[in-house]
Each structure stands twice: as C-alpha cells, then as structure tokens.
Amino acid sequence: GFFSYNRPSAKKFLNQIRKPRVKYEPLIKVLISRDAILHNFRTYQGKYPALKLAPVLKSNAYGHGLVEVATILEPEKPPFLVVDSFYEALVLRRAMVKSNILVIGYSRDDLILRKTLKDIAFTIISLESLRNLAGKLTHPARLHLKVDTGMHRQGLLPGEIPEAAKLIKSNPLMILEGVCSHFADADNPDQTFTKQQIASWNEISSILKRQFGEIKYFHLAATAGLHYTSQIAANAARLGLGLYGINWGAPSQEIELKPALEMRSVISSLKTVPRGEKIGYGITFETPAPLTLATVPAGYHEGIDLRLSNTGVFQVRGKSCAIAGRVSMNITTIDVTGAAGARIGEDVIMISNEPALPNSVENIAKICHTIPYEILVHIPPSLRRVII
C-alpha cells in the first residue's frame, strides 16, 4: 500500500509528518559552508586528476553533519562515499542519498551475508571473515579487501594474500570491487616508514591485479598521503580532513583550503566583576582588574573542550575574548571587557572558520595538545547543522 516502507515517496511523506511543528531559533548553530566543501573537493580533484577521490563522511562527516555533507557532494558524483559503519550507511539511505557507499569499518559477517542496501560495499579486514563468507554467501556482495602494509591495526598480512585470492575466487558471489590499506605515518617529514608501506602496497596490489583483472578501486592514501600519489600504484584515494578545509600534517601539498565549519552561540548574560574575584568551578581564575564577564550557553557537552579552560578564546565583535575559569557542562564564561558594547543576545563565534584566529579548529587543537579530528568529532550530532 501507499505506506509501504519500500517506497521512497512513502518514506519522504512519513519523514515530513514526523517533523516537529514548533519552530525555534537554537542557541547554538554549527554553520557548514557549501562553497567551502565544494571548493576543497574540486581543488583536490584539480591537483590529483588521475585519482578518483572518495569523500570520507564517517563520524558524522568529521562533525560537519553526515547527511548535510553527503547532500552537498552527491551532485559531484564521487566514486563512493566512505562511512565507518552500516548504521551511517543506513542513515544516508533513509535521507535519500543514492551515491555508492563503502563501509570502511568493521562489519559483522552475518550482516554481509544478508541482503541489505543497494549500492553498498563492505570492507573485509581478516582472513577469518573471508573464509566464512566464501562458504555461506548466497547473494552478490561488493567487497573491498583491506591489506596490512605496516600499520598493524586491521587488514590481511602480505602472507595471507594467496589464500585470500583463492577464497574470493571460490565463490563468484564475492565481488572484489576494491583493495585498500592505510598509512600510519604519512604526515611525518621522515618518509622512511611511509615508503616502506608504499613498497609493500605496490607489491600486494600488483599480485592482486594479476589475480583479478576486474578490481575497480585501489586506494591507499587519505588526505595526508596524497603527497605520495606519484609513487603509489592506486587509482583512488580517500579525502578526509582536507575535504573539510583542514591542512593538518600535510603542508607539503601547498594547497589552498577553506575551513567549512563555524560554530556560533550568543551572549546569555553580562556582569561587571571587581578585581580579586574568583570565577567558575574550582575557582581557577581570579580577576586581575574589574572585568566585564559574559556567559555563553555552551560547554563541554556542546563540544567546547575542557582543556580550553583559562586558555582558549571566543570571538565577540571581532575581538578575541578569553575563557575565564573552567568550562562548565553547558556554560562557558568569557572576558568581554575588550569587546566594548557587547550585549545580551549577540553572536559569539566559538569555533572560527578563519585559520589564523586562535579559535580556529587547528589552533584549538594546538592549545589542547591534540589533533583537529578530536575537536571536530566531539561536536555533538544533536546540534543543528545549517548549510550556508
């Protein structure tokens, strides 16, 4: 009937009537620039025209919004979208995203053995899975074989490749669509280990090309490893952090990127506090002079890293306003003394899309002695992503 879940029109209708009817302006917005995402993707395509670039959308598109980023990129017709889990693939299909999908993380064999979603491929990370699938698979399944070239996290060791090839050939329903691996140290100026991985990869890919002439994709590099493209026997790569405009650990690429994410909130209260007052949990900050303090309704639950306590800044009226005291669960206090005329309700930029500012993703990561990935993926999926 009309309400069959197998019909896209019915799904769309049901999604519409389930939407809440109360409209409101959220206190926190995660703004995602369509132009920046497209600029970054096309810039990499222009620089590496021989590669099929697959956007990496795992972990909520590195905090940018899984469905939102997929919607931006689908008209670009990427070879496939990379997600970590079957759940993420299911979310994309429910949102009517039709692009090919590669689940690059671990999937249970029993899931692959079932008919699941159209145009989806699974990554096989062990010989045990291949043995199980070869003996039980009763429908066509698209597979990418992950090989371990030295990172020793997941994948088949070089010595297991001959048996893997025999297993795949033993069941014609196992469609070897791709072969992949992952660099462990591609952002290190010392290229020794990376070149060892490349040598291992090139040997393995050569063996598999001879065994299976129909393999569609060979992909080793992610963003940081694109620098080695000319040395790698591959026709595809996975574009992750660079897609979102962060050139972390890959300065040698000399590529102009545009950070796509900006996170904003508002000033929720203001007060002037005299010199010598203690601020926040643990009273870790003391006012050195009379200060105008503002609260912002966002804290570590909303992705404001606790390590920014007394070290980070937000932007108000174009001024860097220091975080005063410890970041709370849902509130952060900032010193707006230098942002003359600041008012309740006006914008606060918590994460900036300007790379040079101290609250850009890259500079926040430096302050917190971590990597940009961690800062981005800790922005909760519950916060509204707005494509601008």
Nearest to 279 by CA among 292, 297, 266: 292
| Cβ density class 30-44: b for 16+ within 10 Å, e for less | bbbbeebbbbbbebb
Taking the alpha carbons of 361, 34, 377, 42 in that order, is the dihedral positive or negative?
negative
* 169-206-145 Cα angle (round to 5): 50
Catalytic residue (one of 58, 62, 146, 300): 58
Dist. CA 89–CA 66, nearest whole Å: 10
Query: In the numeric block, which tokens belong to residue 227?
Result: 């620098």
Nearest to 365 by CA among 39, 63, 8, 115: 63
Chain-centroid distance, C-alpha 296: 26
- The DSSP secondary structure of 120-134, one letter per residue, reads EEEEE--HHHHHHHH
Nearest to 345 by CA among 384, 385, 292, 296: 296
List, in order, residues 6 or more apart from 178 with CB less than 8 Å away. 102, 121, 143, 144, 145, 215, 216, 217, 218, 219, 236
Catalytic residue (one of 98, 278, 281, 366): 281
| Edge-to-edge strands, sheet with 384-387 | 319-322, 313-316, 347-351, 261-266, 29-32, 384-387
Residue 58 annotated in active site: yes
List, in order, residues 6 or more apart from 259 with CB less than 8 Å away. 36, 244, 245, 246, 353, 354, 355, 360, 361
**CB neighbourhood size of 168 (10 A):** 21
Dist. CA 151–CA 247, nearest whole Å: 22
* 257-263-264 Cα angle (round to 5): 135
Nearest to 235 by CA among 39, 358, 79, 100: 79
Dist. CA 124–CA 147, nearest whole Å: 9
> Would you name the residues annotated as active-site residues?
58, 281
